[in-house]
């Protein structure tokens, strides 16, 4: 495929060749062959028209002038003795320039009109892309509003239910502990009492996670240290990481204060770190890092565990979705709500068999107060 530069030189050489070829025919043909010269002088229109079409007004004028200069000596030296023919050929030279200017002008106008159409098309395309992007944003916002409305109603209902459920759970746990204390260590019933206590604790945890997810709270104006939050999370999970023989790596960018509630961000990071540890029961590498760019801080929690299957990635942040046999499936949903409440977003990247990486992007300034989970 010819480049624009090669095309330019090819067209230029074509016009020059045609001009020289027609001029050579004139000068090498005797004046007795009048009909042949009539044909030859009209052949000059071919390069003139090509010059106008290919190079617009400037090309048409330059080609016409060159054709005139090449043909003029032939008229002066070979046809001056015949005034009738000479005048006719002088008029032909004038016509060369008229045709060159007219062809170049029309080509120039068409080219400018084409550029205007192209710019208009680009403007329309850009407008369409912006409108589509805004429509997608509106749809996403509407979805978030509908979800927030549902969760708000669910939060009001669950707050009342929590009291009714926790009281009998507390009674069941207390009774089970009394039974456990009254059973001998070698009695098989002791195991059933322990199971009962563990299941009550698990139900309490499920209820607490559910309430944390369903009942929103606003982000309070304040600042927190990301380094301190990360250190607190790693302190809380250090024993679990050691038991699973997991190497923890931390690479934080420059220390800075971030807007928002540190306890909420700690909860979000704790969920991600616990998920990473649970994904590597036989050991691995857990990495927590952060970078600053585009007026945001990006916090990444990654592991080299088994990864997350493609069919689970799109719904991994939905409530009650889990890839483990145990768990409520609310941890990542809570994390996403916390991050969105701080004006940020969270994304997952994972390759099956190579691990998973969650990236939280938070703005360096909060513009308004939004509801998030605590």
Q: What is the CATH number of the domain that holds 263?
A: 3.30.565.10
pLDDT at residue 122 tops 80: yes
pLDDT at residue 111 tops 60: yes
Q: Residues 189-216: pLDDT tens digits? A: 778 778 788 778 877 776 776 666 655 5
pLDDT at residue 159 tops 70: no
Q: Which two tokens stand for residue 339?
A: 């991050």
From the CA atom positions of the chain, what is the Rg in Å? 41
* Integer angstrom CA distances of residue 174 from 166, 209, 238: 12, 22, 31
Q: Does a structural domain hold residue 225?
A: yes
Q: Which of the two residues, 179 and 122, has the higher pLDDT score? A: 122
pLDDT at residue 374 tops 50: no
pLDDT at residue 360 tops 60: yes
Within a 10 A sphere around the Cβ of 181, how many other Cβ atoms? 9
Q: Which two tokens stand for residue 93?
A: 């030279």
Residues 19 and 31 in one domain: yes
Residues 156 and 105 in one domain: no
Q: Which of 233, 212, 215, 340 is nearest to 277 (CA)?
A: 233
Q: DSSP string of 249-281? A: EEE--S--EEES-HHHHHHHHHHHHHHHHHT-T
Q: What is the pLDDT of residue 218?
A: 58
Q: What is the pLDDT of residue 245?
A: 93
CATH value at residue 201 = 1.10.287
Q: Does a structural domain hold residue 136?
A: no
Residues 168 and 240 in one domain: no
* Integer angstrom CA distances of residue 203 from 105, 234, 340, 374: 84, 26, 27, 19
Location of structure tokens 């970078």: 291
Residues 289 and 264 in one domain: yes
Longest dimension (CA), the chain: 141
Residues 300 and 274 in one domain: yes
HSE-up (13 A, CA, CB side) for residue 351 = 2
Q: Where are the alpha helices (H) located in the chain, listed in sequence order?
A: 4-28, 34-43, 45-78, 83-181, 189-214, 226-243, 262-278, 310-313, 331-341
Q: Does a structural domain hold residue 345?
A: yes
Chosen domain end from 164, 186, 214: 214
Q: Which of the two residues, 19 and 145, has the higher pLDDT score? A: 19
Q: What is the pLDDT of residue 220?
A: 58
Mean pLDDT across the stretch 56-64? 91
Residues 249 and 115 in one domain: no
Q: What is the pLDDT of residue 371?
A: 47
Mean pLDDT across the stretch 13-39? 88
Residues 286 and 358 in one domain: yes
Q: Which of 291, 300, 306 is nearest to 249 (CA)?
A: 300
Q: What is the pLDDT of residue 369?
A: 44
Q: Residues 170-182: pLDDT tens digits? A: 888 888 788 788 7
Number of domains in the chain: 3
Residues 38 and 90 in one domain: yes
Q: What is the pLDDT of residue 362?
A: 92
Chosen domain end from 93, 124, 155: 124
Question: Average pLDDT of the chain?
Answer: 83
Residues spanned by the domain of 180 = 147-214
Give 87's contacts (C-beta < 8 A, 6+ positions apart).
none
Question: For 370, left (φ over 0), alpha (ψ -120 to 50), or beta?
Answer: beta
HSE-up (13 A, CA, CB side) for residue 250 = 15
| DSSP 8-class letter at 307 | -
CB distance 4 to 11 below 8 Å? no
Location of structure tokens 């939060």: 155
Residues 171 and 262 in one domain: no
Q: Which of the two residues, 284 and 77, has the higher pLDDT score? A: 284
Q: What is the pLDDT of residue 163?
A: 63
Q: Does a structural domain hold residue 94?
A: yes
The rounded distance, in Å, linking the Cα atoms of 334 and 293 is: 25
Q: Does a structural domain hold residue 264?
A: yes
pLDDT at residue 370 tops 50: no
Q: Does a structural domain hold residue 133?
A: no
3-state secondary structure 12-71: HHHHHHHHHHHHHHHHHCCCCCHHHHHHHHHHCHHHHHHHHHHHHHHHHHHHHHHHHHHH
Residues 260 and 352 in one domain: yes
Q: What is the pLDDT of residue 372?
A: 46
Q: Residues 306-340: pLDDT tens digits? A: 998 888 887 888 877 776 666 667 788 888 888 98
CB distance 154 to 212 below 8 Å? no
Mean pLDDT across the stretch 128-157? 75
**Using 50, 70 and 90 to split pLDDT, how confident is the model at 13?**
very high
Residues 197 and 240 in one domain: no
HSE-up (13 A, CA, CB side) for residue 290 = 19
Q: What is the pLDDT of residue 154?
A: 60
What's the whole-model pTM score? 0.50
């Amino acid at each position: 495929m010819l480049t624009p530069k090669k095309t330019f030189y090819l067209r230029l050489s074509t016009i020059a060749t045609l001009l020289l070829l027609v001029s050579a025919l004139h000068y090498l043909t005797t004046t007795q062959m009048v009909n042949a010269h009539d044909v030859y002088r009209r052949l000059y229109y071919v390069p003139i028209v090509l010059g106008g079409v290919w190079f617009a007004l400037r090309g048409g004028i330059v080609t016409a002038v060159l054709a005139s200069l090449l043909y003029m000596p032939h008229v002066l030296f070979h046809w001056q003795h015949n005034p009738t023919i000479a005048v006719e050929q002088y008029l032909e030279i004038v016509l060369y320039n008229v045709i060159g200017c007219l062809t170049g002008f029309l080509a120039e106008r068409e080219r400018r009109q084409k550029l205007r159409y192209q710019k208009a098309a680009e403007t329309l395309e850009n407008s369409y892309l912006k409108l589509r992007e805004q429509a997608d944003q509106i749809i996403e916002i509407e979805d978030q509003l509908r979800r927030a409305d549902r969760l708000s109603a669910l939060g009001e209902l669950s707050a009342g239910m929590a009291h009714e459920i926790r009281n009998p759970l507390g009674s069941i746990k207390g009774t089970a502990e009394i039974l456990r204390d009254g059973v001998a260590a070698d009695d098989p019933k002791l195991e059933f009492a322990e199971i009962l206590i563990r299941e009550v604790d698990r139900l309490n945890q499920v209820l607490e996670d559910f309430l944390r997810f369903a009942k929103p709270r606003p982000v309070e104006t304040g600042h927190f240290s990301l380094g301190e939050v990360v250190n607190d999370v790693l302190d809380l999970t250090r024993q679990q990481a050691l038991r699973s023989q997991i190497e923890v790596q931390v690479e934080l960018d420059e220390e800075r204060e971030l807007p928002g509630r540190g306890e909420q961000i700690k909860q979000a990071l704790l969920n991600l770190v616990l998920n990473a540890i649970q994904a590597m029961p036989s050991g691995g590498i857990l990495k927590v890092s952060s970078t600053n760019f585009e007026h945001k801080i990006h916090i990444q929690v990654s592991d080299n565990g088994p990864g997350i299957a493609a069919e689970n990635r799109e719904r991994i942040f939905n409530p009650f979705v889990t890839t483990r046999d145990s768990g409520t499936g609310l941890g990542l949903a809570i994390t996403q709500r916390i991050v969105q409440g701080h004006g940020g977003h969270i994304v997952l990247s994972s390759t099956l068999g190579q691990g998973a990486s969650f990236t939280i992007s938070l703005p360096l300034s909060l513009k308004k107060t939004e509801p998030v989970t605590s």
